[in-house]
Amino acid sequence: MLYSYKYDNSNNVRAVCSIVGPTDFTDPYYTSHPYYNLAALYLLGNITNQPEAVTAVSPAQHITAQSPATILFYGGQDPLVPVSQANRLKAALDQSGIYNEYYLYEDGGHGNWNPQVMADFQAKLINFFRQRF
C-alpha cells in the first residue's frame, strides 16, 4: 500500500488490495497500545519526538487523486488490526474520489476466516482485479 500511495509517481500500480492491513499508525488505537510503542521504538526510535516519521509510514496519510483503485477486507473481531484502520483508509480514498470497495466480515479475525467467508473474499478479489487488468 505505502509504495503505491506514496512512491509510485509514474502511476504504474493499477490496483491495491488491503487484507487486514494496518493503514494509519497515527490512529489512537496504535499510539496508545504498549506493543505498538515497543515496535515503533525499535523501528523508528522515539516517536514522541518525531511524529512525522509515524505519518510517513502510514499509507492512509498519502492518498491523492492519483491513487489507484483499492479493495479492502477486514475482520470485525481482529485482535491485531482494528476496523478503524479500514475506516481511515476508506475515508481518505472517498475524500480523494478514488474508487474503492470495502468488505467487513463482522465475525472474522485477522484473516482466519471460515470457508464461506474465504470463498466470498476470493470471488470479490478476483472480480476486482479482473476489472482492472
DSSP-assigned letter for residue 5:
I
| Strand arrangement of the beta sheet that strand 69-75 belongs to | 15-19, 69-75, 100-105
Among residues 71, 70, 26, which one has the least CA distance to residue 51?
A: 26
Residue 73 within a domain: yes
**What is the longest distance spanned by two Cα atoms in the chain?**
46
Identity of residue 96: S
Residue 68 within a domain: yes
Among residues 47, 66, 69, which one has the least CA distance to residue 58?
A: 47
Q: What is the CATH number of the domain that holds 114?
A: 3.40.50.1820
Residue 41 within a domain: no
Residue 9 within a domain: yes
Residue 43 within a domain: no
pLDDT at 47: 63
Q: How far apart are CA 57 and CA 26, in angstroms?
A: 9
Higher pLDDT, 114 or 39: 114
List, for residues 7-55, the tens digit of each pLDDT value.
999 999 999 999 999 999 888 887 777 776 676 666 666 666 677 878 9
The three cell numbers locating residue 41: 521504538
Residue 54 within a domain: no
Residue 37 within a domain: no
Identity of residue 15: A
Indicate the number of domains in the chain. 1
pLDDT at 77: 96
Structural domain containing residue 117: 2-23+62-132
Residue 46 within a domain: no
